[in-house]
Every structure is written in structure tokens, then in C-alpha cells.
Structure 1
């Protein structure tokens, strides 16, 4: 047997280099595939590889690394997140400012409501006091109003005071209306004139029935109990007049 048949055939250098390149290429392809799969299924793996590549590129300078990775998916994602975060922060600042403006307006409104409430309470107290005085005055005037002629003068005086009180009350109400931005009502009653004693006596002959009817109708409308309104008898006239003054032919001689 010859030596050629027993000695193993050694591969040439080029074949070994080609085999080595094949192995390296295969491993590289496997590594690329594995890294791509890892970057797709694992965010941390993608970030690690991106940061590793940035460190390598940073050897040439930070500007070079930034320029090289400017169009990478992670860079685009980071830019998108940064932009949306900035927009969200801007919206949050705007909403915070609007909310603060609302709080300021609410505080001012609460203060104004407090001022308005105090003024309304003061107005109601003043009107209540005025009405109480008016009621007391009208009740106190009843005895003198029952006396013929004298009572007419007292009635006119009390009516004048009632008109004055009503005018002051309307002014108070108008202050409240202006405070609430509702304008005001024209107090026409403030200019109403009370007739004189002579004018009332002159209208008695023709106007007393309509006067009684007006008072009676108002009492029915507001469901206020009032005594029967009628002309007095001689005895009633005597009791009303003779206790104050002696009227000839009406009051008995003492």
C-alpha cells in the first residue's frame, strides 16, 4: 500500500479561510437575526443595543453619534414622546391657569355675594323698621281719626307719612336692584300729592261711595278682615264728637 492511500488529505489554506468566513458569516447572521428579534420583542434589549451603538459612535464625537442615530426608530420615538410631552405640559399649564382664573372669579363672586347679602340684610332691616313705625303710627292715629273733621286732618297727615315711607322703601329696593345689575323701578309714588282738608271735604258729596267701595274691594282682594263700613247713626256721631268738643244740637248740655 502506498503512502498516498494512507495519509489524510489536508484542506488547502483557501478552503480553511472560506470555511472560517462561512462560520463567521453564519454567526453574524444568527446574531443579527437574534438581535432584531430581541429588539422587536424586548424594549430593554432594543434600548441596550441602541445605547451600545451610541457609545461606539460617540468615539467620533457626540455630534457624529447624534447625526448617525437621528433617523433611528428610537430617536424618532423619543422625539415624538418629547413633542407630545411638551404639548401635554403646555396644555396642563393652560388648564392650570384657566383653573386659577376660575378660582379667582369664584373668590371675587363669593366676596361680592357676601357684600350683597350684607347690604340686602341691612336694607330689609331698614324697611322692616320703617314698616313697623308705619303700622304703629296708623294704630296710634285711630282714636283721633274717629273724631269728625279733626280725624280728617290726622288721616291726611298719616297718609303723607305713609307716602314718604313708601318712597323711601322704593329707593332702598332700587339700590338693591342696581347692586344686582337689574336697573331700577321708577318710584312714581314719590311724587304723589295728598289733597288738602278743603279738597277732601269738597269731594265728599260725590266721592264718598266710590271711596268706600275701593277700600272694601281691596280688603276682599287681599282677604283682609275689615269692619262694616257705613254711615254713622246720631248716637254714634254723638259718642265720636261730644267726648272732645261740644257741638250744639248734637251734644247734650252738661
Structure 2
């Protein structure tokens, strides 16, 4: 076969030289060469395409990861926004309710204090009015501080009652007899202690002792 192929190739060359035409063998060989070149070019194109496709796949994977994170972030943000909106609505409702209670209580306290003032001016008997009105005023203050503490807890779940709240609500008032005994035994000391908390009082020199009428009062 090799010998025959050699003879055929030599004969084809002689024929091409004599006739000046390209033989069938040469044409087929040229076609095969061109086809091999095209096949090699196509392989190169396919290799480049695969590399490009692989890069695109990586980019698509990265984009999918980003989209997943963005969706999770969006979902979390919407949930948090909903919770915040609910808390704001609850806080607004509590603030409105508490402020209404405080306003009504303050109005009631002011009205009561004005009404009690004349009876407090009555000598001796005014001590009972003072004790009663002061007890009610402290109770109102305590309730107001509790309302404020509730409002603070609405904005901060970890908020607890402060020492001031507990102190005000645990104040024990002296009785009428105790007040009268203090004023009777040391009026100047009682007056000076009051001036510490009410500095706008007129300057008055209270004597060390006062001669009180020797009466029998209900609390004696």
C-alpha cells in the first residue's frame, strides 16, 4: 500500500506538470488541510467560549449570592420596620393615655389645694387640713411618678423603678398630733426647716417659743 500510494502520488505530480491542472488527490489534500485548520480554529473558539462561559457562571453565582443577601436584608429591614412601627404606635397610645391621666390628676390636685387653703389657715384646726391635703398631694405625686416610670418602660423594656420613685411612694406623713407637737415645742426650728424648701417666703424672725392657748384639742 505504501508503494502504491507513492506511485500514485508520483503519477499525480507528473500529470499535474504535463496537463497544468490540479489533480483530484491534491484537491482532496488541500480540502483536508483547510478542514483541519477550520477544526483547529473552531477548537480555539470553543476553548475561549468555555473560559468565557465559566467566568460568566462565576459572575452569575456571585450575583445570585448578592441578590440572596439583599433579599434577606430587605426582609429583615421590613420586619424590623414593622416592629418599630408597632412600638411607636404603642408608645404613642401609652403617652397619650398617661398624659391624659397626669393632666386630670394635676387639675384635681390644684383644685383641691386651692379649696383647702382657707381651712389650713384656721389656727390649730388647720393642722388636720394640712395633713390630709399633703397626704393626697403625695399620693398624686407618687401616681404621677409611676405613670412616668411606665412611660419610660415603654421606650426601654429594661427600665426599672428608680430609687426616687420608691422613696416618694414610701413617705410616711406625721399625724396631726405630731405636727402640733413639733410646732408647739420648737416653732422656730419648724419655720427654718420650711424656709429651706420654700425660699421665697417673706423674711420672718420666728421666736424660739410661743405661748399657745391651753386648750384641749381632739388629737391630744
TM-score, length of structure 1 as denominator length: 0.61
Taking a change above 3 Å as real, the CA distance of residues 128 and 208 of structure 1, as seen in their structure-2 partners, is: farther
1:86 aligned partner: 61
Correspondence for 2:91: 116
Paired residues, number: 184
The match for 2:128 among 132, 153, 172 is 153
Q: Secondary structure at the match of 1:149?
A: coil
1:203 aligns with 2:194: no
Local SS of the residue matching 1:152:
helix
Cα distance, 1:164 vs structure 2 = 1.1
Contact 1:177–1:184 under 8 Å retained in 2: no
1:74 to 32, 35, 49: 49
Query: What is the rounded CA distance, in whole Å, between the counterparts of 2:188 and 2:96 in structure 1?
Result: 42
More divergent stretch after superposition (157-166 vs 168-177) = 168-177
- Could you tell me which runs of 5 or more consecutive residues in structure 1 were left unpaired when the two chains were aligned: 1-10, 37-48, 54-68, 232-246, 248-254
Aligned pair 1:184/2:161, yes or no?
yes
Q: Structure 2-normalised TM-score?
A: 0.69
C-alpha distance 137-217 of structure 1, shift in aligned 2 (>3 A): same
Q: Secondary structure at the match of 2:61?
A: helix
How far the C-alpha of 1:203 sits from its partner, in A, is: 1.2
| RMSD between superposed Cα atoms in Å | 3.4
Unaligned runs of 5+ in 2: 1-12, 207-212, 214-220
Name 2:216's counterpart in structure 1: none
Cα deviation for residue 81 of structure 1 reads 0.6
What does residue 15 of structure 2 align with? 13
Q: Which of structure 1's runs of 4+ aligned residues deviate more than 4 A?
A: 14-18, 225-231
> Structure 1: how far apart are the matches of 2:109 and 2:187?
25
Q: CA offset at residue 230 of structure 1?
A: 6.2
State the shift of 1:99 in Å. Answer: 1.1
Structure possessing the higher relative contact order (Cα contacts under 8 Å, 6 or more residues apart): 2
Aligned positions of 1:226-241 closer than 5 A:
226=201
